[in-house]
Amino acid sequence: MKNFIQTLRNIFKIDDLRTRIVNTLLFLLIYRLAAHVVLPGVDPTQLAGLKNQTSGGILGLLDMFAGGAFSQASIVALGIMPYISASIVVQLLGIAVPYFQKLQKEGESGRKKLNQFTRILTVIVVVFQAPGYLINLKSQAPGAIIAYAHPDIISPAFFMISSTLIIVAGTLFIMWLGERITEKGIGNGISLIIMTGIIARLPFALRDEFLSRLNEGGGLVLFLVEIVALFAVVVSVILLVQGTRKIPVQFAKKIVGNKQYGGVRQYIPLKVNAAGVMPIVFAQAIMFIPAYVAQFFPESSTWQGFASSLTDFHSFWYNFIFATLIILFTYFYTAISVNPSQMADDMKKNGGFIPGVKPGRKTAEFIDDVMSKITLPGSFFLAFVAIMPTFAKLSGVNSNFAQFYGGTSLLILVGVVLDTLQQIESHLLMRHYDGLMKSGRIKGRATAGAAV
């Protein structure tokens, strides 16, 4: 406890770090306040139908990512997910379109252009999603929209147009807050905004589960068992997000069938989970698409039936498709984040080598082969952790609390916390203070090992 207090004192001794932490907290506070500002022309006391719709299923998960703004008909109802969707599209274009590939290699200037494309695409995505949200709002809570209850006061057409523009502006405002956090705060702003929405739901999930155990059986003992199980899941997710810092050359050669070990114990800077939590974010964004489309057709039984089969995260098909997408995206994101040819060239320039493997192209092929083989178990483990809330629900855990037993929410929560703590620790170590952990440096999602 004494060391922890001293670490906090050291954090606030560093002017730049103290300013960044305060800026981050203030920006996140602004975001939380914006989540409670209801759209003009909407009666917040008439939103029971919308809140019931988002009490479970994939729309409940979407509401969690939006920090509860979706179910409150807020000006930032769609949260940051349109920006995430646009980012995914831009990254995919970076693989398929030569122009975007060129921008990725242009350094800071190319990054600025890609960010501009992402912002423009975000506006396009929100312009399409906002009307669907408003149509769904009308269907789920018809009495909440004053324009439809009293068309003589506000024109329904005016409400749709003005509310669409407000939701677009709200999403752009949240995107701007995220960029300001990244620039003037600590950690990745977009990730912290998502994490804030998840944390905001955790106390309510704990309360619901506690009351459920008291009222439905099991009592305090079963509730404590569930907390211990959750702690074990959190530890597993931390290990999954961190991956492994270095792969021993001897182990790498075993998995590719090369028996020439060499006499010195050496390492390759590869991680079992090189993609971090990005595959699950990508897959989850795609799984939201049927729910978004279904909002445009609230009266269509065909669309609603199709959407319900792909939005019930307790169903077999939802979990099967979700897990498959995670495995595919794990390979995809590993391919764009790990460049075997670049690693082989860097090793050659720095005088490093892998015993028994020729430098250059052979080394690149060796690293690529190792990466392909160690990514497979990592992707399956990531997919299993992502669908664990379903097993928790089937075991009798409350649906809101079950979302924290693995799944997208817990993976994002752990990954963002580790990344933020890693940045704080870097500031401390750079100024010759003790880090946050005495047993070793905190490893975030982007931590890479040392060269061979």
The CA distance from 336 to 65, in Å, is 26
Q: What is the dihedral of CA 131, 30, 84, 159, to 10 degrees?
A: 10
The CA distance from 75 to 163, in Å, is 8
User: Under 8 Å CB-to-CB from 108, ≥6 apart: which residues?
Assistant: none
pLDDT tens-digit series, residues 140-198: 887 888 887 777 777 888 889 999 999 999 999 999 999 899 888 888 888 888 888 88
Range 214-223 average pLDDT: 79
Residue 143: which of 73, 61, 58, 64 has the closest Cα?
73
- Average pLDDT of the chain, as a whole number: 78
Read off the DSSP letter of residue 44. Answer: G
pLDDT tens-digit series, residues 253-275: 555 555 454 444 556 666 767 77
Token pair for 194: 């998502």
Token pair for 340: 């075997």
pLDDT tens-digit series, residues 224-237: 888 888 888 788 77
Give the lowest-confidence range in 124-128, 425-429, 446-450: 446-450
pLDDT tens-digit series, residues 302-337: 666 666 667 777 778 888 888 898 888 888 888 777
Range 350-358 average pLDDT: 72
The CA distance from 425 to 430, in Å, is 8
Question: pLDDT at position 305, please?
Answer: 65
Class of domain 201-452: mainly alpha
Instruction: Name the most confidently modeled range: 13-22, 137-146, 320-329, 425-434.
Output: 320-329
The CA distance from 73 to 36, in Å, is 9
Question: pLDDT at position 168, please?
Answer: 93
Instruction: With a cut of 60, say whether residue 437 has pLDDT above it.
Output: no
Instruction: With a cut of 60, say whether residue 352 has pLDDT above it.
Output: yes
pLDDT tens-digit series, residues 34-83: 998 999 888 888 888 888 877 766 777 788 888 888 888 899 988 888 88
The CA distance from 433 to 442, in Å, is 15
Token pair for 148: 């439809």
Question: pLDDT at position 446, please?
Answer: 45
Question: pLDDT at position 307, please?
Answer: 66
Question: pLDDT at position 258, please?
Answer: 53
Question: pLDDT at position 25, please?
Answer: 92
**pLDDT bucket at 436, cuts 50 / 70 / 90:** low
The CA distance from 353 to 253, in Å, is 14
Question: pLDDT at position 447, please?
Answer: 37
Question: pLDDT at position 248, please?
Answer: 54
**pLDDT bucket at 30, cuts 50 / 70 / 90:** very high
Question: pLDDT at position 253, please?
Answer: 53
Give the lowest-confidence range in 1-5, 202-206, 334-338: 1-5
Using CB atoms within 10 Å of the CB of residue 251, give its burial: 0 to 12 exposed, 13 to 18 middle, 19+ buried: middle
Question: pLDDT at position 171, please?
Answer: 92
CB atoms under 10 Å from CB of 210, counted, come to 16
Outline which parts of the chain fall under CATH 1.10.3370.10.
1-185, 201-452
Q: 């974010």: which residue's tokens?
A: 281
Residue 202: which of 416, 43, 32, 413 has the closest Cα?
413
Question: pLDDT at position 173, please?
Answer: 93
The CA distance from 444 to 242, in Å, is 6
Write down the architecture of domain 1-185 according to CATH. Answer: Orthogonal Bundle (1.10)
**Partners of 38 in the beta sheet?**
74
Question: pLDDT at position 247, please?
Answer: 58
**pLDDT bucket at 246, cuts 50 / 70 / 90:** low
Residue 50: which of 129, 126, 139 has the closest Cα?
139
